[in-house]
Amino acid sequence: MSSTATCSIDSKPRPLTLMEKLNGPWHKQALWTYTAIVLAHWAEHLAQATQIYLLGWPVPESRGILGLWLPWLVASEALHYGYAIVMLIAFWILRTGFVGQSYRWWMLAFWIQFWHHIEHALLQGQAIFHHNLFGSPVPVSIAQLVIPRVELHLFYNTVVFIPMVIAMFYHMFPAPGEEAHQGCSCAWGTRAAHQ
pLDDT (tens digit, 9 = 90+) per residue, 13-49? 889 899 899 988 999 999 999 999 999 999 999 999 9
Q: What percent of the chain has pLDDT over 70?
A: 89
In a domain, 4, yes or no: no
In a domain, 97, yes or no: yes
In a domain, 185, yes or no: yes
pLDDT computed for residue 186 by the predictor: 84
In a domain, 5, yes or no: no
Q: What is the mean pLDDT of residues 165-170?
A: 94
Using alpha carbons only, give the angle 30, 35, 39 rounded to the nearest 5 degrees.
155
Element (H, E) at 9: strand 7-9
pLDDT computed for residue 13 by the predictor: 82
Using alpha carbons only, give the angle 73, 66, 109 rounded to the nearest 5 degrees.
85
Beta-bridge partner residues of 16: none
Which amino acid type is present at position 194?
H
Residue-averaged pLDDT of the chain: 87
Cα 113 to Cα 7, 27, 46, 93: the distances in Å are: 33, 20, 19, 14
Specify the length of the chain in residues. Answer: 195
pLDDT computed for residue 101 by the predictor: 92
What pTM did the predictor assign? Answer: 0.84
Task: Convert the pLDDT of each residue in 86-139 to its tens digit.
Answer: 999 999 999 999 999 999 999 999 999 999 999 999 999 999 999 999 989 999
Q: Is the pLDDT of residue 5 over 80?
A: no
Buried b / exposed e along 164-194 (16+ C-beta atoms within 10 A):
bebbbebbbbbeeebebbebbebbeebeeee
pLDDT computed for residue 161 by the predictor: 96
Buried b / exposed e along 114-147 (16+ C-beta atoms within 10 A):
bebbebbebbbebbeeeeeeeeeeebbbeebeee
Structural domain including 130 reads 22-194
Dist. CA 141–CA 121, nearest whole Å: 9
pLDDT computed for residue 190 by the predictor: 43
Q: How many domains does the chain have?
A: 1
92 close to 110: Cβ distance less than 8 angstroms: yes
For 47, other C-beta atoms within 10 Å of its C-beta total: 17
In a domain, 166, yes or no: yes
pLDDT computed for residue 180 by the predictor: 66
Q: Is the pLDDT of residue 189 over 80?
A: no
pLDDT computed for residue 57 by the predictor: 95
In a domain, 1, yes or no: no
Higher pLDDT, 6 or 187: 187
* C-alpha gyration radius of the chain: 20
In a domain, 12, yes or no: no
In a domain, 74, yes or no: yes
Q: Is the pLDDT of residue 4 over 80?
A: no
Q: What percent of the chain has pLDDT over 90?
A: 66
Element (H, E) at 126: helix 100-129
